Copies of this chain bind each other. A is one copy, B any other.
Amino acid sequence: MANTQILLASRPVGWPTEANFSIVETPVPEPKDGEFLVRVRWLSLDPYMRGRMNDAKSYAAKVEIGDVIVGGGVGEIVASKRAGFDVGEFVVGSFGWQEYAASSGAGTMKVDAKRVPLSAYLGPVGMPGVTAYIGLIDIGAPKAGETVVVSAASGAVGSVVGQIAKLRGCRAVGIAGGKAKCDYVTRELGLDACVDYKAGHLDEDLQAACPGGIDVYFENVGGEILDAVLKRLNPFARIPLCGLVSQYNATSPYGVKNFGALLINRVKLEGFIVSERMDRWPEALATLGGWVAADELKYRETVSEGLRSAPARR
């Protein structure tokens, strides 16, 4: 029985290409005593992975050339030498871009396939959802009636941020690229407005969407969008800094011009990583799971069939 794995073949410069990856077949690992074997059913493709492919200091260890690419997955236990993890149970964890993974259970969590669909544990009831929850609630601290803006508003994190803002009684405004994404954000997710940053008049559209200014900005993107938002911040605004996806494939960094707005408005900005706030996961997962089960939190998935299709995904 073979284990398909996807390895980092070379470090991308700018956008990754399929040539940066290699696909290999290796023997399926044999679980040692105290381990179990997972067959990965779903693999999540997330923006943070791009940073791990660089040969640069970041918040997490980089992927070395020849290593399996990191990634969160949800799978079924197909063999077990660890008490409490039984064959047929489902677990979520960082299993990497491969079909089979042996695990001691550290960093994994058993999940209930009957409560919400399995793949949701990689989305709204998984790392992206918890990222949205912790960033918005703990750092953004939105109050009812305030205006919350989120960039990458149709994405895995952003779509949850906007909906939580609505559930908390805020005016929720998304920023996304293109009419289709913006329609999704307002019509399906129920945000009050969505600014299409590709439409060519970001400043004006943002002002129109945020007549009372911006109290919380959940930042996923950076670049020109950040500069546009900085101009509209209210005093004492909060910025959970979650991602800067516009910069991950950039070969020279964007210069942020309106940095002074952070001083003028006495802004609190905080960069954060969800994996460093494990104490907040139980509350977040319980709340998010309840919302998804009750259909109060909507989500959409882009599904690619087969592990071998991953390197070509954007």
A127 to B5, CA, bound (A): 62
Which of B253, B258, B270, B273 is close to A269, meaning CB atoms less than 8 Å apart?
B270
Query: Quick check: is A268 within 8 A (CB to CB) of the other chain?
Result: yes
Give the chain B neighbours of A269 by CB distance below 8 A. Answer: 262, 267-270
Query: Which chain B residue shows the least CB distance to A277?
Result: B266
Dominant SS at the A interface?
Answer: loop
Enumerate A247-277 residues with CB–CB distance to B below 8 Å.
Answer: 247, 253-260, 262-273, 276
Query: Quick check: is A235 within 8 A (CB to CB) of the other chain?
Result: yes
A292 to B307, CA, bound (A): 68
Query: Which chain B residue shows the least CB distance to A58?
Result: B264
Contact of A259 with B256 in the complex, beta carbons under 8 Å: yes
Contact of B264 with A270 in the complex, beta carbons under 8 Å: no
Give the chain B neighbours of A262 by CB distance below 8 A. Answer: 241, 269, 271
CB distance from A17 to the nearest CB of B (A): 23
Give the chain B neighbours of A115 by CB distance below 8 A. Answer: none
Give the chain B neighbours of A264 by CB distance below 8 A. Answer: 57-59, 271
A264 to B258, CA, bound (A): 20
Query: Quick check: is A128 within 8 A (CB to CB) of the other chain?
Result: no
Which of B254, B266, B268, B276 is close to A273, meaning CB atoms less than 8 Å apart?
B266
> Which residues on A are within 8 Å of B, measured CB to CB?
57-59, 222, 226, 235, 241-244, 247, 253-260, 262-273, 276
